[in-house]
Every structure is written in C-alpha cells, then in structure tokens.
Amino acid sequence: MATELYSLTVPVFTRGLTALSAILDKAAAHAAETGADADALLALRLIGDMNPFSKQVQTACDSAKLCVSRLSGVAAPVMDDSEATLDQLKARIRATLDYLASVPRDAIDGQEGREVVLTFPGGEMKFLGQAYVIDFALPNFYFHLTTAYALLRADGVPLGKRDYLGGR
C-alpha cells in the first residue's frame, strides 16, 4: 500500500506556516504595544554564527515548497530572500501557502520511490521519496519553525505552545 505522502507533507506544512504567519502577527502587535521596532525582529539570532530570524522564516518556507516540488515535479516559485519587514515575510509565507495549495494530491502520492538528490557545497545526499520526507524534509522544516518561534519568545513576544501548534 502506498504511503499518502501528500498527507504527510502539504497539510503539515500548511498548518505550520499558517501558525508562523499568526506568530508574526503577534510579534507585530507586541512591538506596537511596547513601542519597539517590529522589523528589528528580523535580525534576532540565538548566537552570532546562526542565521537570523528572517532566514529562519525564509528557510521554513523553502523547506516546505522545495519538498513538495521535489516530490511532485511541479516547479516551486523562486523567492529572492530580500524580505526586510514582517509584512514581507508574511507575504512570503502566503506565496508559499498558495503554491502548496496549487499542487494536486496525485502529483505527490505514490512518490515513495522517487529519487531525491540534495546537492551541498561539501557533497550530496540521496534519498527515496518517503525517506526524504521523514528523515530530512520534515525535521528541517520543524527546526526552522521552532527556531523562529524560540527567537521571538526569547525576545519577549508573548507566545505559547498553542501558538506554535496553530491554535489547536
């Protein structure tokens, strides 16, 4: 029996990105209430050699869209990583959600054996579709989603687990 890779990917990414968008709304509201510059949040880092908040959001979006593209063969939108405001990050999330919604289930389901090759400066990683989703794409997505949440939480934005989970 085929794994329903669509069910393991698109709804999961959609829930996470929708929650992330709502988290950005809370960050903007918190900045307005405290008189802080909301767009200064984009530079937050856990440590100097780690990517900033803006890159965490960008990479969460990229993780979702590239996973779906690699499985389905449907080209993902190219985004230039130039977002400089919370509103621009929200627009990126919206564009990613629109792309995810455009990919039909039957383009993803049944792709358990599809070869996925990721190329990095130091080499490459090869997967088959199901292993790619479970062992790389989902953990990578959640890493960046969690890091974005943690950066805002550590900066004082009043977030809780329900915000991360998407209000469930």
What are 63-94's pLDDT values in tens digits? 999 999 999 999 999 999 999 999 999 999 99
Report whether pLDDT(125) > 80: yes
Q: What is the pLDDT of residue 149?
A: 97
pLDDT range class, residue 2, cuts 50, 70, 90? low
Report whether pLDDT(135) > 80: yes
Q: What separation in angstroms does the CA of 49 have from each of 34, 52, 55?
A: 28, 9, 13
| Contact residues for 60 (Cβ-Cβ < 8 A; gap 6+) | 16, 17, 20, 141, 144, 145, 148
Q: Once rounded to an integer, what is the mean pLDDT over residues 12-20?
A: 97
* Tokens, residue 165: 């989970």
Report whether pLDDT(3) > 80: no
CA distance 152 to 150: 5
Directed axis angle between helix 53-72 and helix 138-154, to 10°?
Answer: 160
Q: What is the pLDDT of residue 168?
A: 55
Give all strands (DSSP E) within 28-161, no chain letters. 115-120, 123-128
Q: Report percent pLDDT > 90 for the chain.
A: 95
Q: What is the pLDDT of residue 27?
A: 97
Contact status, residue 6 vs residue 132, Cβ threshold 8 Å: no
What are 27-39's pLDDT values in tens digits? 999 999 999 999 9
